Amino acid sequence: MPTALLLLALICLCRPAVSLAETAEELAAATLVVFNENDPDSEPLARFYAQKRGIAKERVVGLRCSAAEEISRTEYEDNIAGPLRQILTKNEWWKLRGYESPLGRAESNSIRFVALIRGIPLKISASPGWPGDVPSGPPPINQHNEASVDSELTVLGVHSKGLSGVLNNPYFRSFSRIREARLPAVMLVCRLDGPTPEMVRQMITDSIASEQEGLRGFACIDARGIKEGNYAEGDGWLNAAAVDARKRGTPVILDNGEGLFPNGYPLREASLYFGWYAEHVGGPFARPDFRFRRGAVAAHIHSFSAATVRDPKRHWVGPLLAAGAVATFGSVYEPYLTLTPHIDVFHERLRAGFTFAEAGWMSQRGLSWMTTFVGDPLYRPFQREMELKDAPQDEWSAYATGAKLWLENQEKGATALRASAKRLKSGMIMEGLGLLWLSSNNQAGAIAAFGEARRLYKNRDDIARTAIHEIIQLQALKRIPDALVLTRNQLGAAPDAPAAEVFLMFQNQMDPPPPPSVPPPAAPAPAR
C-alpha cells in the first residue's frame, strides 16, 4: 500500500456523530469557487454562484488554464494543481506539514468544498511513462493514470507521487459532515458545468428554490433484473435505492427489465432518476418535450456517461442537465463498476440531509479516479423533509404520510391513501398506492389502484402511464383479453401521443398482425 493510500485509510478511523444543523453561512465559509480566466463566461458564473450562496469574494479565485474539456497531465499540474496549492498556502486556508511527515501533508484545511465553474477542464488524459509514476493496486486498475480533474483535486493535499491506480477514499460510507470528519487532506469537489452558461445559471437558481420548497415527485429507477454475476452489484444499488425511497414516502416507478424505459414512456413529475446501462441518452429523457421537476437529481451508470458534460445529446450528463436536472454525476473514462458512485449510498445520504457533495463523495470508493459530480456542492434538496401532519392538504405530503403508514400496516395505509386520493382528487396518490402493491407482489391490488388512478387523472400522459402499469400486470396474470381491451382503448383515446408507440408494442405482442401475403409466383413465359 503506497504511503498516501495508507494515510488516507488511517485517517478514516475517526467518525464523529453527524450534525444536521449546519447553517448556510457555515457551508459558504468552507467553500472555494474556482473559475477559468481564459473563458469569458466563467468568472460571471462564479460571481453569480458566490452571490447566491453568500460566499465571500476573496474565496472566488481565477486560474489561467485551457478552456478545453480534456487536458494533459502537464497542463493540470502547471495550470491547475500547482496554482491552487499556492493560493491555498498564501491565504492560509490550509496548513501543511513536511513532505515526509508520517501524518500526511495536510494538518488543517478550512476549505471543505470546491466548486469548479464551467470553463475549468473536465478530465486529464493518460500520460504513459510519467516521471515518478509508481503504479499501485491490481491490474487493470493500476494501468490507468487518466482521471477527472475533480477527483484529482479532492486529494490535492495528499501530494501522492504515484498516479496510476486509485487512492482509497476515507470518506466512503461516512455519516459525518465533512467539516466534522477530520479529513484535512480531502476536499469535496463538484463542478457547476453543462451544455450552456444559461443552463448553469438555471441549475444554481433551481437548486436554491428547490431547497426552500422541498424536492417532491416520482423516483424513476431503471434496473436490469440482474441476479448474479459481476453486474449484479449495480442492480443491487438501484433496488436498494428504490426500497429506501419508498420508506421515505416517495412513489417509486421501478423497471427491472433488461432495456431502458421506452422512448414513448409517458414519464412526468420525476424528481429522481437512477438507471443503467446505455452509452447515450435514451428513453423519455431524449425527447425534446421531457422535463424533470425543478431541483431533480438524476444519474445513469455507464463507463463514459460524463465523457463530455457540454453536449446536450450525447452520453448522459449533458442531456440530463438539458432536461432540467440540477445535479448528476458520471465517469469521464472507464471507471470499472465498483469504482463508480454506489447509488444506494448516495441516495440514502442525500435523503438524510447531507449536501450533494457530501452524499456524492460518501458514495465513491476511490479518489484520484474517473468520477465527476456536476451540480451545486452545497445543494441540500432533502434537508427539510416534509413535515407530515394528520391530514396534509398537499398531495405529495398526503401520499408520504399514507405510504409510511402502509409500510407499517398495509390495510390501514391503503385506507388512508384512498381517503386522501378521494379528498384531494389525486390520481398520483392512487398510482402511488398501486406501485406500493406491486412492491409486495399484490397484483390484484395494484390493478384496482391503477384503474382508480386513471379515473382521477386529467393529463393524458398520466392516464397513459397508469394504463401501462395496469396492462403489464394484466399480462402477468394471463388476462390477455382485458389487457388488449385497455390497450386499444388507450390507442383510440390518444393515437398521436408519444405513448402510442408503447401501446402499439403491447398490441402487437398480444395480437400479432398476420404476416404479409406472398403473391403466387408468376406463370412461366411460353417458349418461343
Place of cell 491552487: 84
Would you state the pLDDT for residue 527? Answer: 53
Would you state the pLDDT for residue 514? Answer: 83
CA nearest to 251, candidates 471, 449, 486? 449
Q: How confident is the model at residue 8 (pLDDT cuts 50, 70, 90)?
A: very low
> pLDDT by residue (tens digit) across 142-158?
999 999 999 999 999 98
> Which residue type is seen at 103?
L
C-alpha cell at 253: 416507478
Give yes or no for a contact between 232 and 226, defined as CB atoms under 8 angstroms apart.
yes
Percent of the chain with pLDDT over 70: 92
C-alpha cell at 362: 460518501
CA nearest to 121, candidates 69, 162, 192? 69
Strand order in the sheet with 123-124: 70-71, 123-124, 147-148
Span of 41-45, 103-107, 387-391 with lowest mean pLDDT: 387-391
User: What CA–CA distance (Å, rounded) separates 433 from 421?
Assistant: 10
Give yes or no for a contact between 414 and 401, defined as CB atoms under 8 angstroms apart.
no
Four-residue CA torsion sign, 440, 446, 450, 453: negative
User: What CA–CA distance (Å, rounded) separates 383 from 386?
Assistant: 9
Dihedral Cα 147, 150, 154, 157, nearest 10 deg: 80
C-alpha cell at 373: 459530480
C-alpha angle with apex 399: 292 to 291, nearest 5 degrees? 5
The pLDDT of 216-229, averaged and rounded, is 95
Give yes or no for a contact between 308 and 315, defined as CB atoms under 8 angstroms apart.
yes
Q: What is the DSSP letter of 120?
A: B
Residue with the bigger pLDDT between 81 and 6: it is 81
Q: Does residue 192 sit in helix, strand or coil?
A: strand
Phi, psi of 264 (to 5 degrees): -90, 5
Q: How confident is the model at residue 83 (pLDDT cuts 50, 70, 90)?
A: very high
Q: How confident is the model at residue 216 (pLDDT cuts 50, 70, 90)?
A: very high
Q: Does residue 109 sit in helix, strand or coil?
A: strand
C-alpha cell at 486: 385497455
Q: How confident is the model at residue 528 (pLDDT cuts 50, 70, 90)?
A: very low
Per-chain mean pLDDT for the chain = 92
pLDDT exceeds 60 at position 211: yes
User: What CA–CA distance (Å, rounded) separates 170 from 167?
Assistant: 9
Would you state the pLDDT for residue 491? Answer: 95
Name, in order, each residue with C-beta under 8 angstroms of 250's C-beta and a sequence gap of 6 or more.
Answer: 216, 217, 218, 219, 271, 272, 400, 403
C-alpha cell at 247: 420508506
Would you state the pLDDT for residue 488? Answer: 97
> Which stretches within 119-222 are classed as H helix?
149-154, 197-213
> pLDDT by residue (tens digit) across 272-311?
999 999 999 999 999 999 999 999 999 999 999 999 999 9
Q: How confident is the model at residue 19 (pLDDT cuts 50, 70, 90)?
A: very low
pLDDT exceeds 50 at position 5: no
User: What CA–CA distance (Å, rounded) separates 265 from 283?
Assistant: 7
pLDDT exceeds 80 at position 3: no
